[in-house]
């Protein structure tokens, strides 16, 4: 069954061109299910619909997973049985009709972002000493907060993905099964090129497949910056700028690397860009996703209660 699933990953996910991290995510979710079956003395080949429901309850109650995470895991389990069914290894798909619990969160609450002054505060804590690390971090955080690429897109980006159009530069990124070119502000492209030139001055030969962002630690210097590494760098500066909140913070806002993507979308709309422009910039397939940023902007500015002429 696992072999059938591995074949499915290789041939069917993303039409046979699944990203390495996508394959890893699918494999990790499946291992979680198989390990749970083992702990419950359940043979996955003989699992019933009730067994999968028990697994769903385990994800919610024991692992405290959110609805979206549970949905992804159940989708992987469903695909696991579909692959086995296609090879005649099982008689039915016990996960076929199992749905994740409904999300009880206001969708707009997922949009955590920095106000413009907070963004200035964040960027101000990055040193301007001309070192490779400071140049990298200024380019990295600047691109994330102003142009809104996903963490995985910057992780995958190579030197050869820089695209020139006249005097302007763009960055070709790949994520969520699509490729788009992000236009870079002149100040961002300047800092990025300073960073790349600093790497060349240190003896590195940049070729088309060279990672755009690399680690700066002595132990792993020159290796492609991982997604976890990018998140760690962002968190480090959020803490330094006193912007990183905890889960129990009274304001209930938890900033992360993904918050910088939300910052680009929210501030972009606030500064006059239309929904279509922001949708193209962020690479959203569904305009409803982009509309969440407009909802966040409008919720307080256009609160219907503001027009009621009474005092409390």
Decide if pLDDT at 300 tops 80: no
The whole-number pLDDT of residue 244 equals: 85
- Considering only residues 106 and 230, tell me which one the structure prediction assigns the higher pLDDT: 230
The whole-number pLDDT of residue 249 equals: 45
Average pLDDT for residues 284-305, to the nearest whole number? 70
Q: Count CA within 13 A, CB hemisphere, residue 7.
A: 10
**Same fold for the pair 2-104 and 110-301:** no
The whole-number pLDDT of residue 241 equals: 94
Average pLDDT for residues 254-270, to the nearest whole number? 90
CATH 1.10.150.130 fits 2-104, yes or no: yes
Average pLDDT for residues 302-306, to the nearest whole number? 61
Nearest to 92 by CA among 45, 127, 132: 45
**How far apart, in whole angstroms, are the C-alpha atoms of residue 292 and residue 181?**
23
Average pLDDT for residues 55-72, to the nearest whole number? 92
pLDDT mean across residues, the chain? 88
The whole-number pLDDT of residue 102 equals: 85
Domain range summary for the chain, segments of one domain joined by +: 2-104, 110-301
Average pLDDT for residues 143-154, to the nearest whole number? 94
CATH of domain 110-301: 1.10.443.10
User: Which two tokens mark 5?
Assistant: 């699933």
Q: Where are the alpha helices (DSSP H) in the chain?
A: 2-11, 20-39, 49-57, 67-86, 116-124, 132-147, 151-156, 186-201, 227-240, 257-270, 275-282, 287-301
Question: Looking only at Cα atoms, what is the longest distance across the chain?
Answer: 71
Q: Count CA within 13 A, CB hemisphere, residue 80.
A: 24
Per-residue model confidence as pLDDT tens digits over 149-201: 999 999 999 999 999 988 899 999 988 778 899 999 999 999 999 999 999 99
Q: Which range (97-101, 228-232, 296-300, 305-309) has the least confidence? A: 296-300
């Amino acid at each position: 069954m696992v072999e059938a699933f591995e074949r499915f990953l290789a041939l069917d996910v993303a039409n046979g061109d699944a990203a390495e991290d996508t394959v890893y995510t699918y494999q990790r979710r499946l291992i979680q299910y198989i390990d749970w079956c083992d702990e419950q003395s359940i043979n996955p080949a003989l699992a019933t619909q009730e067994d999968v429901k028990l697994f769903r309850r385990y994800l919610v109650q024991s692992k405290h997973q959110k609805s979206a995470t549970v949905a992804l895991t159940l989708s992987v389990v469903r695909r696991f049985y579909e692959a086995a069914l296609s090879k005649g290894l099982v008689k039915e798909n016990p996960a076929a009709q199992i749905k994740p619990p409904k999300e009880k969160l206001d969708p707009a609450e997922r949009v955590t972002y920095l106000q413009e002054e907070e963004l200035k505060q964040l960027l101000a804590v990055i040193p301007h000493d001309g070192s490779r690390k400071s140049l990298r971090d200024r380019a990295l955080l600047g691109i994330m907060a102003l142009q809104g690429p996903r963490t995985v897109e910057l992780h995958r980006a190579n030197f050869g993905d820089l695209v020139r159009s006249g005097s302007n530069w763009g960055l070709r990124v790949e994520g969520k099964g699509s490729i788009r070119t992000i236009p870079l502000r002149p100040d961002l492209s300047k800092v990025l090129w300073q960073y790349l030139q600093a790497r060349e001055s240190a003896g590195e030969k940049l070729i088309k497949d060279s990672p755009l962002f690399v680690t700066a630690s002595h132990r792993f210097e020159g290796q492609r910056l991982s997604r976890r590494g990018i998140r760690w760098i962002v968190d480090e500066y959020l803490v330094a700028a006193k912007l990183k909140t905890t889960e129990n913070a009274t304001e209930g806002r938890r900033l992360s690397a993904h918050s910088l993507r939300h910052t680009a979308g929210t501030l972009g709309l606030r500064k006059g860009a239309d929904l279509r422009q922001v949708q193209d910039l962020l690479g959203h397939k569904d305009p409803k996703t982009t509309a969440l940023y407009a909802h966040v902007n409008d919720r307080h500015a256009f609160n219907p209660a503001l027009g009621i002429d009474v005092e409390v």
